């Protein structure tokens, strides 16, 4: 268990640094715009990489790397890739209603949770 936690921690650090570098690279290449291009680029790239890794790991017997790569690197790079994998897994199982519910609750709950956190913090710090 300790080794797995260390793998996740190391992978998470790598993923977070990569996310930062991609954001900096995009900012330097095109500047700051109104649209969060860095974030969406990381989300899409991370989801592509998640799909590639899941299939490659299954076919090559590399599933033991899941904590390091999926939870760690890709989770640190973008949690959107994990969200996408869970959604597609539900869809592949034919659980389209649950997939839709998961997407709706994830998006609405996350945005709503952020708004609640902002409201609470602003109330305390005002």
- 5-48 per-position pLDDT tens digit: 999 999 999 999 999 999 899 989 988 887 888 888 899 999 99
Q: Record the pTM.
A: 0.79
For the chain, domain boundaries:
2-78
Provide DSSP, the chain. -HHHHHHHHHHHHHHHHHHHHHHHHHHHHH---SS-HHHHHHHHHHHHHHHHHHHHHHHHT-GGGHIIIIIIIIHHH-HHHHHHHHHHHHHHTT-HHHHHHHHHHHHHHHHHHHHHHHHHHHHHH-
- Can you give the pLDDT at residue 34? 77
């Amino acid at each position: 268990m300790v080794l797995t936690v260390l793998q996740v921690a190391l992978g998470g650090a790598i993923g977070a640094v990569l996310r930062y570098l991609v954001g900096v690279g995009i900012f330097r290449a095109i500047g700051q715009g109104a649209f969060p291009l860095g974030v969406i680029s990381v989300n899409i790239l991370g989801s592509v990489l998640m799909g590639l890794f899941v299939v490659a790991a299954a076919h090559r017997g590399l599933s033991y790397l899941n904590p390091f790569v999926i939870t760690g690197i890709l989770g640190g790079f973008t949690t959107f890739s994990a969200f996408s994998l869970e959604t597609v897994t539900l869809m592949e199982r034919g659980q389209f209603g649950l997939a839709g519910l998961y997407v709706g609750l994830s998006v609405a709950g996350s945005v709503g949770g952020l708004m609640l956190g902002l409201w609470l913090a602003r109330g305390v710090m005002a």
